[in-house]
Structure 1
Amino acid sequence: MALNATVHNFTVQVADVDRGVYEDLSLRLARHPSETAEFMLTRLLAYCLEYEEGITFSEGGVSSTDEPAVLVRDLTGRVTAWIEVGAPDAERVHRGSKLAGRAAVYTHRDPAKVLAQFAGKRIHRAEEIPLYSFDRAFVDAAAAAIERRNTVTLSVTERLMYLDLNGISLSAPVEEHRLG
């Protein structure tokens, strides 16, 4: 018997001072049985930190082989941003970078290990693709606070992230690396 995804609801207030984005979001994330809370949290943070008109979670979620975790489409339906989460393989990032005008990777894993898996691989415009990573203690503490219904306040200034998740307040830098 197949296990069903668990739906988590997030009411999010985003104040990204660095990009001038201020939004109130109501999001539903389906957590696949094979998905960790840390991965789901990273998907949520990637969505919020990349928020712009046309952003969506992929329809297949973590089980999708054709789409990234998060993507942005313009009004014509063309993909303009390909946002991977976790430790995607180089071929997916290469394909996404060629397809979209912009690509990025967000990870809750050790960034040195994620970058090492891309070494020597062909990735379109690798030097332009950022890898954003979050401190492991920050991710663990925030993931432990996730419930089925969540209230989140996320503020970003000078790439320092302040997160309040269900009354638990945390902060951490958003570290940026480049794939190439």
Structure 2
Amino acid sequence: MALKSIIYKADLNISDMDRGYYADHSLTIARHPSETDERMMIRVLAFAIHAAERLEFGKGISDTEEPDIWLKDYTDAIQLWIEVGQPDDRRLLKACGRSEQVIVYSFASASDIWWKAMNSRLDRAKNLRVMNVPSEQSQALEKLAQRNMQLQCTIQDGQIWMSAGDASVQIDLETLKDFA
């Protein structure tokens, strides 16, 4: 018998002063049995950074044809494709061909090794941005995970703060590759 996804609920309040975006989102997050709380919380972080009316979670880890998060326009064209973790170059190049922009949020201590292997293979992908969440910060973010979460995300001058109750985590993203 296959294991089922674990359902998490999050009320996410976003104050993105850099974009002038202020909204509340009620998220239902299906955590795949093979997914960690750390990876799930990086997905929530990526959602908060790019929040928009039509942004939604994809099947990601359980479907090779969908990203972790995506934004489609009203014609179903993919405007933004977001991957979390360390996807392979074939998956990313295929995503770059299907979407206007592709963004990867890598995390974990092995991100540097992964990026050294991928960098030259992905150099031609002009619509690809790769961001890294330092492992100490991604692990601190993991500690905010609960089945029912009340999260606040504040973004100002490129700094990101994610908090739940009395706990707060500052996220300082590292750009590994930017759009050409």
With structure 2 as the length reference, what TM-score do the two structures score?
Answer: 0.91
What's the RMSD between the two structures over aligned residues? Answer: 1.8
CA distance in 2, matches of 1:77, 1:133: 29
In structure 1, what is the equivalent of residue 77 of structure 2? 78
- Residues 49-88 of structure 1 mapped to structure 2, 5 A cutoff: 49-58=49-58, 60-88=59-87
- Residues 90-109 of structure 1 mapped to structure 2, 5 A cutoff: 90-109=89-108
Q: Does 1:22 align with 2:19?
A: no
Instruction: Report the identity percentage.
Output: 26
- How far did 1:46 drift? 0.9
Structure 2 residue matching 1:101: 3-state secondary structure: strand
CA distance in 1, matches of 2:123, 2:81: 13
CA distance in 2, matches of 1:88, 1:134: 15
The amino acid that maps onto 2:166 is G
Structure 1 unmatched runs, 5+: none
Structure 1 residue matching 2:102: 3-state secondary structure: strand
In structure 2, what is the equivalent of residue 114 of structure 1? 114
The amino acid that maps onto 1:101 is E
- How far did 1:175 drift? 1.9
Contact map agreement 1:94 1:124 (CA 8 A) in 2: no
Structure 2 residue matching 1:147: 3-state secondary structure: coil
Divergent runs of 4+, >3 A: none
In structure 2, what is the equivalent of residue 146 of structure 1? 145
In structure 1, what is the equivalent of residue 133 of structure 2? 134
Contact map agreement 2:108 2:138 (CA 8 A) in 1: no
Contact map agreement 1:73 1:81 (CA 8 A) in 2: yes
Contact map agreement 1:161 1:173 (CA 8 A) in 2: yes
- How far did 1:94 drift? 0.7
CA distance in 1, matches of 2:143, 2:163: 13
Deviation sequence 1:61-99 (CA, Å, 0-9, x none):
421111110111001111111111100111111111111
Contact map agreement 1:90 1:123 (CA 8 A) in 2: no
Q: Does 1:164 align with 2:143?
A: no
CA distance in 1, matches of 2:161, 2:149: 16
- How far did 1:113 drift? 2.2
The total of aligned residue pairs comes to 178
Deviation sequence 1:90-133 (CA, Å, 0-9, x none):
1111111111111110122244223213133256524x422122
CA distance in 2, matches of 1:16, 1:136: 23
Structure 1 residue matching 2:120: 3-state secondary structure: coil
